[in-house]
Amino acid sequence: MDELNKVEQLSVGDELTGKVLKLEEKHAMVDIGYKVEGILPISEISNLHVEKTSDALSVGEEITVRVKKVEEEEVILSKRLVDAEKTWTELEEKLSSGEVFEAEVKEVVKGGLVADVGLRGFVPASHVEAFYVENFEEYKGKTLTFKVIELDRDKNRVILSHKAVVEQTKGQQKQELLQKIKEGDVLEGVVQRITDFGGFVDIGGIDGLVHISQLSYEHVDKASDVLTEGEKVKVKVLSVDRDTERISLSIKDVLPGPWDEIEKKIQPGEVVEGTVKRLVNFGAFVEVLPGVEGLVHISHIADRHIGTPNEVLEVGQIVSVKVLDVSEENKRMSLSIREVEMDKNKKELEQYQRDSDQGTFSLGDVIGDQLGKLKE
C-alpha cells in the first residue's frame, strides 16, 4: 500500500509509538512508521512550559504520541495529550487513596507555586507550609512531598498541598509521642507560644504547657519575662492525658533547686537581709534567697515579749536576720531578728567602752550635753 494512502488512514486521536529523529527550535520531527514524518510542536511536548525542545526530548528517544491533525502530507502530533490522560488517571488514584508523592517545583506564580506532576499542579500559598511563608523564591527547583486535594478535568485544575503532608506527618508523630512519653521524662523542646498563664513548648510534634508557676522557683509576673519564642528549653513531664492530648510540663523541676548546696551558700552565724513573706502565730517566714524561706520563731523576733508577730513585723518588710541553723536535707532554716539586735547592742557597748578607755568622752559628758540642751 502506498505510504501516502497509509497516512490517509490515520485519524485524529490515534495513538502511535514513534522515535524522535530531529529537534528543531519550535518542533521535533518524529518517525511514526510512515513515509511522512510526524511533527511535534513545542507546545504539544509537555503540559508544562518548555523553553527548548532539547529540554524535554532527546534524539532517538521513543515516545507515545496522539494524532492531533492529519493533512495530505503532514501529520501533527501531541505528546502532551497522551501524558495528560495518563496523568489524570494517576492523579485521580492519588486523590482517592490520599497517597503522598514527590514533585519538583517549577515556577513561582502569583498566589503560590507550580509543581510538575505531568500536568501543571498548583500549590496555593496557604498550602505550601503549615506556617506563614514570606518569600516563595527559595522553593523554585526544590522537590517537595505533596497530596492531591482537588481535581477538575473540565477546568484542567490540579490543586496540591505540601501543608497537608506536613500536618499528616506531625499528626502521626504526635500520636506516637503521646503513647511513648510518660510522667517524669526529661525532654528538650522549643518555646512555640507565650501566654498570660505560661508557655507552650514543642517537644517533638506536640505542644505541652508550662504553667507560669512551673517556670521558675522565683515568682514570675509574666511568662515573657523568662521565656522567648524559639528558645530551646529543657522540661520535665508532669502529666500526660492521652484522651485530651494535654501534656503538663515543668522547667522549674529541671533547674537546680533553691535549697541545693544551701549549706555552702549560707552558714550558721551569718547575718543576711530577707523579706517577710508570711506571718503565723508562732513566728514569721523570711525569704533570704529566691525560693528559700527560713523561720524566725516568735521568741526570736524581738528582745521583748510579744503576743503576735504582726506587732512588730509586716509582710513585705525587709529585715536583717541571723542564721541559727540550716539543713539542706530537711529544707529548713532557723533565723533570728532578736540576735541581730543583741549583737548590734553588744557592739555599740563595746565601742562605747573602747571610747571611754581612750578618754574620748565620758558618760557624764553625754549626760551633761543632754541636760544642757534641755535647759536651753
Examine residue 173 and state whether it is found in any structural domain, yes or no: no
pLDDT attached to residue 9: 76
Examine residue 157 and state whether it is found in any structural domain, yes or no: yes
* Distance in angstroms (rounded) separating the CA atoms of residues 145 and 129: 11
Domain with 318 in it: what CATH number? 2.40.50.140
CB 272, CB 206: distance < 8 Å: no
pLDDT attached to residue 262: 86
- Using 50, 70 and 90 to split pLDDT, how confident is the model at 365? low
| % the chain with pLDDT above 70 | 92
CB contact set of 15 (below 8 Å; sequence gap of 6+): 64, 65, 66, 67, 82
Query: Structure pTM?
Result: 0.52
- Using 50, 70 and 90 to split pLDDT, how confident is the model at 7? low
Residue with cell 506564580: 109
- How confident is the model over 174-211, as pLDDT tens digits? 888 889 999 999 999 999 999 999 999 999 888 999 99
pLDDT attached to residue 1: 43
Examine residue 124 and state whether it is found in any structural domain, yes or no: yes
- How confident is the model over 207-239, as pLDDT tens digits? 999 999 999 888 889 999 999 999 999 999 999
Region 159-185 average pLDDT: 91
Examine residue 324 and state whether it is found in any structural domain, yes or no: yes
Examine residue 346 and state whether it is found in any structural domain, yes or no: no
Domain ranges, residue 316: 262-341
**Judgement on whether residues 196 and 243 belong to the same structural domain of the protein:** yes
**Judgement on whether residues 99 and 119 belong to the same structural domain of the protein:** yes
A 10 A CB-CB count for 349 gives 10
CB 159, CB 126: distance < 8 Å: no
Examine residue 60 and state whether it is found in any structural domain, yes or no: yes
pLDDT attached to residue 270: 92
Task: Using the predicted structure, report yes or no on whether residue 356 has a pLDDT greater than 60.
Answer: yes
Half-sphere exposure of 48 (CA within 13 A, CB side): 20
pLDDT attached to residue 50: 86
pLDDT attached to residue 190: 95
Region 134-157 average pLDDT: 94
Residues 286-307 as b or e (16 or more Cβ within 10 Å = b): bbbbeebbbbbebebbeeeeee
DSSP 53: H
Q: What is the grid cell recorded at 250?
A: 515543668
**Judgement on whether residues 274 and 333 belong to the same structural domain of the protein:** yes
Task: Using the predicted structure, report yes or no on whether residue 124 has a pLDDT greater than 70.
Answer: yes
**Judgement on whether residues 72 and 95 belong to the same structural domain of the protein:** no
Domain final residue, candidates 24, 51, 78: 78
**Judgement on whether residues 269 and 337 belong to the same structural domain of the protein:** yes
Q: What is the grid cell recorded at 65?
A: 504520541
* Distance in angstroms (rounded) separating the CA atoms of residues 88 and 120: 11
pLDDT attached to residue 122: 97
Domain final residue, candidates 232, 254, 276: 254
pLDDT attached to residue 172: 86
**Judgement on whether residues 149 and 118 belong to the same structural domain of the protein:** yes
pLDDT attached to residue 329: 84
CB contact set of 109 (below 8 Å; sequence gap of 6+): 122
Measured in degrees and rounded to the nearest 5, phi and psi for residue 78 equal: -140, 120
Examine residue 174 and state whether it is found in any structural domain, yes or no: no
- How confident is the model over 34-71, as pLDDT tens digits? 888 999 999 999 877 888 999 889 999 999 999 999 98
Cα end-to-end span (Å), the chain:
149
Residue with cell 539543713: 327
Quote the number of domains for the chain: 4
Q: Among residues 92, 85, 93, 95, which one has the least CA distance to residue 65?
A: 85
pLDDT attached to residue 352: 75
Rg (CA), the chain: 42
Work out the burial of residue 88: count CB atoms within 10 Å of its CB; fewer than 13 is exposed, 13-18 middle, 19 or more buried: middle
pLDDT attached to residue 6: 55
pLDDT attached to residue 10: 84
121-125, 142-146, 240-244: which has the minimum mean pLDDT? 240-244
SS3 325: strand
Averaged pLDDT of the chain: 88
E strands, the chain, where? 15-23, 27-31, 38-41, 62-71, 74-78, 101-109, 112-116, 120-124, 143-152, 157-161, 186-195, 198-202, 207-211, 232-241, 246-250, 271-280, 283-289, 292-297, 318-327, 332-336
- How confident is the model over 79-119, as pLDDT tens digits? 999 988 899 999 999 999 999 999 999 999 999 999 999 88
Task: Using the predicted structure, report yes or no on whether residue 255 has a pLDDT greater than 90.
Answer: no
CB 103, CB 115: distance < 8 Å: yes
- How confident is the model over 11-28, as pLDDT tens digits? 898 999 999 999 999 999
* Distance in angstroms (rounded) separating the CA atoms of residues 188 and 101: 31
Task: Using the predicted structure, report yes or no on whether residue 121 has a pLDDT greater than 70.
Answer: yes
**Judgement on whether residues 199 and 221 belong to the same structural domain of the protein:** yes
Examine residue 53 and state whether it is found in any structural domain, yes or no: yes
* Distance in angstroms (rounded) separating the CA atoms of residues 283 and 23: 98
SS3 370: helix
Domain final residue, candidates 115, 131, 166: 166
Alpha carbon of residue 340 to chain centroid: 51
Alpha carbon of residue 185 to chain centroid: 19
pLDDT attached to residue 366: 47
